Structure 1
Amino acid sequence: MRVLVTRPEPEASRTAESLAALGHAALLAPLFEAEPVAADLGGAYDAIAVTSARTPAMLPPGALAALAPLPAFAVGDRTAEALAAAGFRDIRSAAGDVAALAVLIAAAGLPAGARILHPGGEERAGDLAAALAPAGLSVVPATVYRMRAKATLPPAVGDALRSGSLAAALHYSPRAAGLFTTLCTAAGLAPEAGVLRHLCLSAAVAAALEPLRPSCVITAQRPREADLLAAL
């Protein structure tokens, strides 16, 4: 089965590897691209918290020397690996979500009133600051990148839809599914996109596809990629 993957890199390539292991072929056509945002990361911090594996590579080079010695808390193991690659040494992984990360940080023994730098993208899942407020910890957010949307449907996707060579599409977020819908409609390919099997991470993601009038929409039992791929 040939499956469309529109998520950005490096996630797209990891998904392609997972699809290949299941015997499927991937058409990679990221609809978003990360671009750095100028950010002032100066100041005194007691730790850094990171909730995206993309963030470490987006940190300004000049800030890394000051930040790398700090305790670094990662939401998951991939994020921890990205922090290590960027030069951080004291790395602790929550191996979960933002709630798990908050629990990890709260139990780390940081002093009351500690300031935790939380760099990331413009859009983030969860509210780390609210989760750590009861522990008396101060989270300082900083936007270091944004995901720039493509203005037109990638040519490879248009060609695949016209030829009927695609069987399914994976959708991970309402924003991405909405952009896919908008770009397909603008290209006059809504009917071709509607006949695909659309696999969605959540009901909110599926709702963003409604203008395509899709004939087959499957929502993962749990919001995890493993469950999404299992639905294939």
Structure 2
Amino acid sequence: MRVLVTRPAPAAARTARKLAALGHEPVLLPLARAEHDVEAARAALAERHSAIAITSAEVARLLGNVGPALDRHLLTTVFSVGHVSAQAAADAGFRTVLSPGGDGKGLANMIIAHCRDFGMPAEPILYLTGRPRAPGFEARLEDAGIPLRTAECYRMAPIIPKRSDAEAVLLKPVPDAVLFYSRETARTFFELSPLAETPERFLSTLMLCMSANVAKAVPQRFAALTVVASAPNEESLLDLL
């Protein structure tokens, strides 16, 4: 299958290698890029906190650029949303990384259970995150009365490719499947000129979504071709192919 990957670099390259190993033809069209704010991360880490929570591997990659200021935090417990984020945090040097291997709701539930077993933290949990993001994780911890301090340290900026580049990737030939990892990227995809002007050309293309939230950005005319992964991770997404 010819499979279009819309996620940002460098993750897109790793996905392409996985697809090639499965016998597919990967095509890359990144529709977002991460803009890091390392100073915001340093400032957040300098304030007192009991643990660190991350819901994106992007944060873990950013922390790898904080430098020597990170060293005194490496014994701090990190609650990470998934295995990829957890591995990235471990690669950054953190000694204790706990992950439920699911989504933000699963991470919130794990933190709540941890606080129930070991007591409410005296200092807030530092949530290092980006923009845009779903509100569920923060809302769940707030409802449970767990102190949380949120610090935005990156943003995902949309990439609008040149018309000629988009047409070359999307029309020569049309992909058999598209992988969507975020709601914002899916929204950007359907605004591209080939989709906006000749959507009928894509009525045989599978729209594969990481989660039900991502699938909400897929227009109704493609509903019959939209499939949601059984779990919010790349392994489950690729299983749909």
- The TM tier, using the shorter chain, reads 0.7 to 0.9
- Local SS of the residue matching 1:102: helix
Match of 1:98 in 2: 104
Gap change, CA 1:163 and 1:58, over 3 Å in 2: same
Gap change, CA 1:127 and 1:166, over 3 Å in 2: closer
Match of 1:172 in 2: 181
User: Any conservation in 1 of the 2:35–2:157 contact (CA below 8 Å)?
Assistant: yes
CA distance in 2, matches of 1:122, 1:142: 10
Count of residues in Structure 1 that have an aligned counterpart in Structure 2: 231
Q: Does 1:58 align with 2:58?
A: no
Q: TM-score, normalised by structure 1?
A: 0.81
Structure 1 unaligned spans of 5+: none
Structure 2 unaligned spans of 5+: none
Gap change, CA 1:22 and 1:154, over 3 Å in 2: farther
Q: Which amino acid aligns with 1:122?
A: R
Gap change, CA 1:94 and 1:197, over 3 Å in 2: closer
- The equivalent position to 1:71 in structure 2, one of 77, 80, 85, is 77
What do the CA deviations read for 1:27-63 (whole angstroms, capped 9, x no partner)?
A: 0121101011341313111111111111022234364
Seq. identity, % = 36
* Bigger fraction of residues in helix: 2
Q: Does 1:30 align with 2:30?
A: yes
User: Any conservation in 2 of the 1:198–1:216 contact (CA below 8 Å)?
Assistant: no
- Local SS of the residue matching 2:148: strand
- The equivalent position to 1:218 in structure 2, one of 226, 233, 238, is 226
Q: CA RMSD of the aligned region, Å?
A: 3.1
User: Any conservation in 1 of the 2:33–2:157 contact (CA below 8 Å)?
Assistant: yes
User: Any conservation in 2 of the 1:184–1:193 contact (CA below 8 Å)?
Assistant: no
What do the CA deviations read for 1:140-198 (whole angstroms, capped 9, x no partner)?
A: 01001001111335755421333225322222333212101112358856454455333
CA distance in 2, matches of 1:228, 1:103: 23
Q: TM-score, normalised by structure 2?
A: 0.78
Gap change, CA 1:167 and 1:63, over 3 Å in 2: same
